[in-house]
A and B are shown apart, each in its own frame.
Chain A
Amino acid sequence: MSTDLLSRIQVPPSVRRGEVFPVRVALAHPMETGFRHDENGRTTPYNVVNSFVCRYNGVVVLASSMSSGIAANPSFQFYVRAREPGELAFEWHDDEGRQGKASLHLNVVG
């Protein structure tokens, strides 16, 4: 399995210029609270996705810092206004220092 963190990201196949469209993101992450114990009684260390950033052609459109209290495999939905065709880039980090990256091309018509 790859060490990079896994995600599923969805945007509409194409959007009109000026349209506000939804971006839906699901991250695969256990979001360990630090309060759980494994089968041998050892504490499972605190490890959550602590930051998530989305850039639209290099400009930050969403930046989020997170802590515990968010369920495992967190899911985001947020809205972005389509201005020009380009790249949506996503990046997130967890407390173990692992990171996830994803990007996709946004088709803007009209």
Chain B
Amino acid sequence: MSARIGISALLLAACAASAPSQELRREIETPRSGVTFNSADVQQLQKDDAANPGMLWVAQGEALWKERAGMSNKSCADCHDDAAKSMRGVAARYPVYDERAKNLVNLEGRINECRVERQKAEPLRYESEALLSLTAFVANQSREMPVQASIAGPARAHFEAGRANYVARQGQLNLSCAQCHEKNWGKTLLAEPISQGQSNGYPAYRFEWQALGSLHRRLRACQIGIRAEQSPYGSQELLDLELYLAWRANGLPVEAPGVRR
């Protein structure tokens, strides 16, 4: 009896969760990738695998994919085999809600979970060359596939938190993300065009960094820009924001490794 009540309560909860998502409308209905705000040269650099400097990290990631690590002495490839098949489309779905972790997990988080629990190895430091390389390699397998982040079920609460963060004014400049990237995209900030702040190109090679960087690094750069306190790498705020950004970018092709100014 109580089980039946439990199931019907679950069903009700599921209905309640799915109903508002249908009426959810994006501020930008047809998103535009950040690369289209860059010059033709930059777009060409991203398109050409031989020239795209981000591919150096992808190549390094491919080597790490096959490298044995940890007490288990297993490589990623020992379980997942050919990444071109097993990892195809994965990056397009992330971040996802993980039942065991009871939290959002992004690609970096999933790679480290695998390292700790399956390979019995030390987790890789966020923004380390190794973690960036593996993330870029895995994300690269989904290139050209449309982003399709899900905010159904328990992910919804994280989505709401991310959206609240996105529209909240913060920092000494008292600006929200939305003020630049939803109300004023297409204009310029001094010499720089303001993009829509879409996340589909990350991890991306930025000329400013002269290196590949994660989405969290990019978000922290924006936080500095508005003179707000930087959230730590992999923190809850940035994860929630990552889900909101992925939902905003739904439909755009995965570009990793993107190239940006």
Residues of A within 8 A of B (CB): 1-2, 6-8, 10, 24, 26, 28, 30-31, 71-73, 75
Q: Using an 8 Å CB-CB cutoff, how does the interface string of B53-85 with A read, 1 for contact, 0 for none?
A: 101100110011000000000000000000000
User: Using Cβ atoms and an 8 Å threshold, which residues of chain A touch B53?
Assistant: 26, 73, 75
B211 touching A6, Cβ below 8 Å = no
Bound-complex Cα distance A73 to B64 (A):
20
Interface SS, B side? helix
User: Using Cβ atoms and an 8 Å threshold, which residues of chain A touch B64?
Assistant: 1
Within 8 A of A (CB), among B12-55: 50-51, 53, 55
Query: Which residue, of B51, B56, B60, B210, has the highest number of chain A Cβ atoms within 10 A?
Result: B56
Q: From B50, B51, B60, B210, give the contact of A30 (CB < 8 A).
A: B210
Whole-angstrom distance from the CB of B175 to the nearest CB of chain A?
A: 26
Question: How many residues belonging to B are interface residues under a CB distance threshold of 8 Å?
Answer: 13
Q: From A1, A6, A26, give the contact of B50 (CB < 8 A).
A: A26
Asked if B130 lies at the interface with its beta carbon under 8 angstroms from chain A, I say: yes
Residues of B within 8 A of A (CB): 50-51, 53, 55-56, 59-60, 63-64, 129-130, 210-211
Bound-complex Cα distance A6 to B56 (A):
7
Given contacts A28-B56, A71-B210, A73-B210, is CB(A8)–CB(B50) below 8 Å? yes
Whole-angstrom distance from the CB of B42 to the nearest CB of chain A?
A: 14
A1 touching B55, Cβ below 8 Å = no
| Given A8-B50, A30-B210, 18 other A-B residues pairs in contact with their CB atoms under 8 A | A1-B129, A2-B63, A6-B59, A8-B55, A8-B56, A8-B59, A10-B50, A24-B51, A26-B51, A26-B53, A26-B55, A31-B210, A72-B210, A72-B211, A73-B53, A73-B56, A73-B211, A75-B53
Bound-complex Cα distance A71 to B51 (A):
14
Given contacts A1-B130, A30-B210, A72-B210, is CB(A6)–CB(B51) below 8 Å? no
Bound-complex Cα distance A72 to B56 (A):
12
A24 touching B56, Cβ below 8 Å = no
User: Using Cβ atoms and an 8 Å threshold, which residues of chain A touch B60?
Assistant: 1, 6, 28
User: Using Cβ atoms and an 8 Å threshold, which residues of chain A touch B211?
Assistant: 30, 72-73
Whole-angstrom distance from the CB of A49 to the nearest CB of chain B?
A: 13
User: Using Cβ atoms and an 8 Å threshold, which residues of chain A touch B210?
Assistant: 30-31, 71-73
Whole-angstrom distance from the CB of A60 to the nearest CB of chain B?
A: 23
Bound-complex Cα distance A5 to B63 (A):
13
